[in-house]
Each structure stands twice: as C-alpha cells, then as structure tokens.
Amino acid sequence: MDAPPKRTIDRQVTQQKGSLGEPGGTNRIIAGVFNRILESADIILFVALLTLYVWVVLPVTAAKSPWKEVFILAALGVATASTWRSGATARECGIRLDNFPRSAALYGTSALAYSAVTLFWFRERLGRPVEPWWPSPRGVAWLLLWGLLQQYCLLSFLFRRLRKILRKDLLASLTAAGIFAFFHLPNPFLTLYTLGGGIIATLLFLRWPSLPAAGLAHMVSSLLAGGLLPGDVTGWMRVGPLYGWSP
C-alpha cells in the first residue's frame, strides 16, 4: 500500500490541532475564557446585591425605605446589562407574545398542578383559619409585575447565562433554581417551593421561552400558596431576617 502524500498528512495534523492550529484560534479561545469569566462575574455581582438586599436592606429599613428599590433596580441593571452585552434578542429572552396562548396554557397548567401537589401535601393544615393575604386588584397587578421581574432575572438572565457557562441544560436549570431558592432562605417553605418551581420554569423555558407566561404562572402559584395556607406554614411569605417576624 502506498504511503499517503505528505500534503495530506500535514492537513490531517492541522485538523487534529483544532482551533489552536488555525489563524487567530488562540485569540478566540482567550476571548471565550474572558467572556465566561465576565458572565460569571455578572452572576456573582447579582447574587451579592440581592443577598445584601434580603439580609441587610429589608430588615434595617423595615422593607419601607426607598433603598430597597435602589437595590432592586441595581440588580435588574446588572441582569439587563449582562443580557444586552451577550447580544441576546428580546425573543430569546422570552419577551414576546407570539407564543403566549400556548405558553400560558403550559406554564399555567404546570403552576396549578405544582400548587395542587403542594396544597395536598399540607392538606391537614387547610382546615385552619388563614390570615387574610389575598391582595386587592391593585395588589394583584403589583404581584404580576413582581413575578415578571423575578422570572426575568431567573430565566432571561441567570438560566441563559448559566447555560452558556456550564454547557449543560439540566445542570444550568438546577443551578439557576438553586440560586433562586437561596434568596428565600431561611424560610423552609418558600425555599423548597421556589426550588421546585424554578426547575419547572427553566425546563419549560427551554422549549417555550415566554416571560409573560412565566410571570403569570409565578403570580398564580404565589396567590394559591399565600392565600390558602396558614402563615405558620408559609412563614407569611417572608425571607431573610424578616422570616422570624410574625405579623
């Protein structure tokens, strides 16, 4: 058998070298590593801001000071700047209405089923008097907006960034949901409730990216848990040091 020509061997060796053997390949690798570090720094800064908000700002200001809005806007600014820098489109972030009918049905059904399982688990507590938690129509509108903002941070920012960093969808889903649940410590109910809900939302977002549907599902699950379960189960829907303060 004749030996392959030397030019063929050289081409095969070059292919085996991968991107390092290509012009500018090293620069692309360095740029990729730098982008991952930058994306990780965005997540770390975001987590630091919200941790400070939950554990310092809320208890010190009794959750009534303009400072809480400053920290929320700062965290949203980090999330938005990171998303803009990544070049993500509004559609990729789930800011769209073309798939809303189907997405709303899927997210809504999932939220109802998840809430039903939770209520069934605490079925022995459902007969107890529940503190009036149902909000006014204006409060419902605020709850929807709050749900949209939280889902934007969870899905459009955290989950999408972690997918790029970790390169594994399931691991990114678990990590994003874990970070989301971390902000609800030390409330055991909300920590577990948001962990499960975060996993469901991120997995749905993979196939049906719809921020409006996710925000609506967030509002529904919050209303059902907070409105039907007693405060000693839900911790009065409070987090951080405020969890220990009963109304």
Say how many domains are in the chain.
Answer: 1
How far apart, in whole angstroms, are the C-alpha atoms of residue 177 and residue 44?
Answer: 15
Residue 112 falls inside a structural domain: yes
Sorting pLDDT into bands at 50, 70 and 90, what band is 17? very low
Taking Cα atoms as reference points, which of 244, 203, 202, 201 lies closest to residue 222?
A: 201
Cβ distance 202 to 172 under 8 Å?
Answer: yes
Residue 74 falls inside a structural domain: yes
CB burial of 217-229 (b: ≥16 within 10 Å; e: otherwise) equals bbbbbbbbbbebb
Q: pTM for this one? A: 0.82
Taking Cα atoms as reference points, which of 63, 95, 82, 127 lies closest to residue 211?
A: 95
Residue 17 falls inside a structural domain: no
Chain segment 51-81, per-residue pLDDT in tens = 999 999 888 876 567 878 888 899 999 999 9
Chain segment 90-123, per-residue pLDDT in tens = 999 999 999 999 999 999 999 999 999 999 998 8
How far apart, in whole angstroms, are the C-alpha atoms of residue 194 and residue 198?
Answer: 6
Chain segment 117-172, per-residue pLDDT in tens = 999 998 887 766 666 667 778 888 889 999 999 999 999 999 999 998 999 999 99
Residue 160 falls inside a structural domain: yes
Residue 51 belongs to what domain range?
27-244
How far apart, in whole angstroms, are the C-alpha atoms of residue 210 and residue 204?
Answer: 9
